[in-house]
Structure 1
Amino acid sequence: MRPDVGHPKTDVEHPKTGVGTQRLLGPKRPHRSFFESFIRTLIIVCTALAVVLSSVSICDGHWLLVEDRLFGLWYFCTISNHSEPHCMRDLSQAHMPGLAVGMGLARSVAALAVVAAIFGLELLMVSQVCEDVRSRRKWAIGSYLLLVAFILSSGGLLTFIILLKSQITLMGFTLMFWCEFTASFLFFLNATSGLHINSLTQPWNQLRKCRHEGTSLT
């Protein structure tokens, strides 16, 4: 009689020796703990929040208010007698040497930070939705991209501060500046947390190897 090929093979116990022989049809994905899933989901959510904060901050661009002058990445504005701000794209009108070139560098670096963060966020999400042997590598690359985003974002903030160091007061920073500062901090926090949790968890291929060795010993 032909064996029934429609049913999967299971563990067969020898009638005399009582030794079970395990026949695996294929590698099984290890069960992920609730804590690990929660942390990875939290990292993805915080990264998405950081991308939104940084995007809004750069698009608005008004980061510093000094008396009747408003300095930004894109405009230089003057405010007088409770009237609407008069903004100019030509940053040389602020009569500060190197401001136009420096602001161009600051906004370019900050925009590249958002691009790197978006790609990093995409890899983090893909690594969790499509889990396979390459998921850990995708997660690690995404975390490194967030680290690059932090470096670029911090560079944009430092460039802005250095250019306007003679005008800066702590109370002069606008909400948009603090949004960018918060986004930069979140990029760093999520990048380091992602790399750390990736180093704590065991790779899938090692789990398969351990299971295979345990099966061969039995």
Structure 2
Amino acid sequence: MTAIAVQAQWLRAHGRPKKLFFETFIRSLIILCVAISVVLSSIAVCDGHWLFAKGKLFGLWHFCTISNNSALKCDTNLTLANVRGLNIGMTLARSMVSFAVVVAIFGLELLMVSQVCEDINSRRKWSMGSVLILASFLFSSAGVLSFLILLRDYISFTSFTLTFWCEFIAAFLFFLNGISGLHLNHLTFPWSRLRKINNDDQQFC
């Protein structure tokens, strides 16, 4: 009999262990933080204007300059910025951060489903959701890093816009919540009691 079959048989016999209030609270908090991260990252990607330096506004989708009457003149042709490799590099950057949002949405859905529809596979769904959130961190980090490398000659601490910091915070929260989700699932693994029982049985045999 496989381990999964033993686990399923043990659950049917003893019932699923009830979650403590603290565990439920932490899982709800993780889901809330992931949802906030998705919103922040979506805003950053849709706006796309991340860096303002030397009278130029660099974004994922547009390149803007300030005219004499202080009005922004934007163009989707990024080659006008006269930055080597900007057009191709920015395509990669915006693809990465956009894909990060999509992956995070699927991860968030798995996290919520695992809590709403609790069954024998709930913990596995939670783990899969947490892994997808970590994948979102990797994609968003790759996009942000690509953006910084392309525009390294224009970077200063005060040149970053609010939407850039939204993406930066979202990437940090993706990492924090992905790691926390996996760690929490490990700490509250429902089969730990079964392992303890099996180990005790082996000691008496």
Band of TM-score, shorter chain: 0.7 to 0.9
In the alignment, structure 1 residue 59 sits paired with structure 2 residue 46: yes
Aligned to 2:150: 163
For residue 3 of structure 2, what is the aligned residue in structure 1?
none
Superposition pairs of residues 82-101 of structure 1, within 5 angstroms: 82-101=69-88
**Identity within the alignment, %:** 60
Give deviations 1:86-126, integer Å, cap 9, x for gaps. Answer: 00000001111100000000000101101110000000000
1:164-214: CA deviation from partner (whole Å, max 9, x where unpaired): 00111110000000000000000000000000000001325955995xx99
User: After the TM superposition, which segments of 4 or more aligned residues of structure 1 sit over 3 Å from their partners?
Assistant: 204-210
Q: Residues 26 and 208 (structure 1 numbering): CA distance in 2 closer, same or farther, change over 3 Å?
A: farther
Matching residue of 2:33: 46
TM-score where L is the length of structure 1: 0.82
TM-score (norm 2): 0.87
Please list, as runs of the form range in 1=range in 2, the aligned pairs for 1:132-147 lying within 5 A after superposition: 132-147=119-134
Q: CA deviation at 1:81?
A: 3.4
8 Å Cα contact 2:34-2:173 kept in structure 1: yes
Counterpart amino acid of residue 75 in structure 1: H
Q: Gapped runs of 5+ residues in structure 1?
A: 1-24
- 1:123 is the counterpart of 2:110: yes
Measured in 2, the distance between the counterparts of 1:190 and 1:102 equals 29
Select the structure of larger CA radius of gyration: 1
Paired letter, 2:57: L
Return closer, same or farther for 1:27/1:208 CA change in 2, 3 Å cut-off: farther
Q: In the alignment, what sits opposite 1:12?
A: none
Q: Is the aligned partner of 1:75 residue 2:41?
A: no
Unaligned runs of 5+ in 2: 1-11
Backbone CA RMSD of aligned residues: 2.1
More helix by share: 2
Q: 1:173 aligns with which of 145, 160, 165?
A: 160
